[in-house]
Amino acid sequence: MARQPTRLKDIAAVTGVTANTVSLALRGSSRIPQETRDRIVAAARKLNYLPNQVAQSLVSRETKTVGLILTSIVNPILTQAARAIERELAVRGYSLMLAASENDIAKETDALNVFRSRQVDGMLIYAASHGALDHIRPLRRAGYPIVLLVDDPTRRLDMVSVDDRRGAEIATDHLVGLGHRRIAFLDAGSQLGNLEKLEGYRKGLDKGGIAFDPRLLVDPGGHSAARAHAAVAAFLARRERTTALLASNDLLAFGALRACRDLGVSVPRDLALVGFDDIEASDYAPVPLTTVHYGADELSKAAVDRLLELINTPGRLPRPKQTFIEPTLVVRESCGSRDGGRAQRGGRGATR
């Protein structure tokens, strides 16, 4: 990029030694006498020398780079994870390369290839579809360090993820415990085959002795709050006599909240609402959101740790390891249990 970056050879020319000596000196080899070293280091500073990492990588066969594939960068929770990942990597001397799949397997595959071609030392992947991992598996078999950031049902890849199933289950438990029987589930993941949250929801229902009713599934057909807004509005218009709604992420919950406001449905009095992710804005929502929380930083750290473990394993990769981050429920106002009473008996309502 700079038109003429300084090379070892340039420093060599100035100091009257050979490029090799400069290389050794700059890396502090004791083979070079202190005095020569100082002279070389001084010259390097003066010439504003920085080693060419691409040349280094070619010989060392490592790039000190990790690739991260995100689904969509709009979801704040992914952003938060990306940030923690960048930080964790930076302190360990790795750089982060970013790609987005937009929930599209073809783009995910493209990103995989780009990263491979760029010789990244490892990859972190928010797979678009948890069921469709067959484009990733061969890479692991070929020896590529890869850590999935979503659940792999088959357990054949390394993985660090929040326990989505458990998260949806505790959220459902909470609503069931509050006396709700008709609990709707707002989720965009099913289309992509990401069924963990749905399963957790069903498990929670089961435990409460509530039959699963597919009419209570609402699919926004997209991942934005706007989509959720429309879908929930349509759903509410159907008058399914729902008293609670579990949204599979907070952005969708925001849309739901808006739909309720439009239709004069009071949250939590008329409808108890629970989200998922606990993004920063959830606490600042019109009705502060009860939501499933998990440590995105903790998750990121665990994922980076595992990835570096794989990267630094000399021979064959160790057996895949699965790590689940345990979620907790953060109870705020939107579920109606904040002030003790059952949501049905009416709480403070949605006043501001």
- Cα separation, 56 vs 173, whole angstroms: 55
Nearer to DNA, 23 or 72 (CB): 23
Residue 98 binding: pick among DNA, a second copy, none (C-beta 5-8 Å cut-off by kind): a second copy
Nearer to a second copy, 89 or 183 (CB): 89
- Cα separation, 43 vs 20, whole angstroms: 15
SS3 55: helix
76-80, long-range: CB within 8 Å, 24+ apart, which pairs?
Answer: 76/250, 76/251, 76/277, 76/279, 76/280, 76/281, 77/249, 77/250, 77/277, 77/279, 77/296, 78/126, 80/279, 80/296, 80/297
Q: Is the peptide bond before 327 cis (omega within 30 degrees of 0)?
A: no
Phi, psi of 218 (to 5 degrees): -120, 125
Residue 3 binding: pick among a second copy, DNA, none (C-beta 5-8 Å cut-off by kind): a second copy
Residue 290 binding: pick among DNA, a second copy, none (C-beta 5-8 Å cut-off by kind): none
- Residues in the site for DNA, rule: CB under 7 A? 7-9, 16-21, 23-24, 27, 31-33, 36, 51-52, 55-56, 58-61
The closest alpha carbon to 195, from 248, 232, 149, belongs to: 248
**Residue 183, H or E segment:** strand 183-186
Nearer to a second copy, 63 or 337 (CB): 63
Helix axes 19-26, 8-15, angle to 10 degrees: 100
Residue 31 binding: pick among DNA, a second copy, none (C-beta 5-8 Å cut-off by kind): DNA
- Cα separation, 86 vs 100, whole angstroms: 15
Residue 101 binding: pick among a second copy, DNA, none (C-beta 5-8 Å cut-off by kind): none
Residue 121 binding: pick among DNA, a second copy, none (C-beta 5-8 Å cut-off by kind): a second copy
- Residues in the site for a second copy, rule: CB under 8 A? 1-5, 48, 50-55, 57-58, 63, 65, 72-74, 76, 79-80, 82-83, 86-87, 90, 95-100, 113-114, 116-122, 139, 142-145, 224-225, 251, 254-255, 257-258, 261, 280-281, 283-287, 311, 350-352
- Residue 41 CB, shortest distance to DNA, in Å, is 13
DSSP state of 288: P
Nearer to DNA, 20 or 154 (CB): 20
- Residue 186 CB, shortest distance to a second copy, in Å, is 15
Residue 281 binding: pick among a second copy, DNA, none (C-beta 5-8 Å cut-off by kind): a second copy
Nearer to DNA, 8 or 128 (CB): 8
**Residue 323, H or E segment:** strand 322-325
Nearer to DNA, 21 or 161 (CB): 21
- Residue 143 CB, shortest distance to a second copy, in Å, is 4
Nearer to DNA, 36 or 344 (CB): 36
Nearer to a second copy, 5 or 193 (CB): 5
- Cα separation, 49 vs 51, whole angstroms: 7
- Cα separation, 127 vs 157, whole angstroms: 12
Residue 351 binding: pick among DNA, a second copy, none (C-beta 5-8 Å cut-off by kind): a second copy
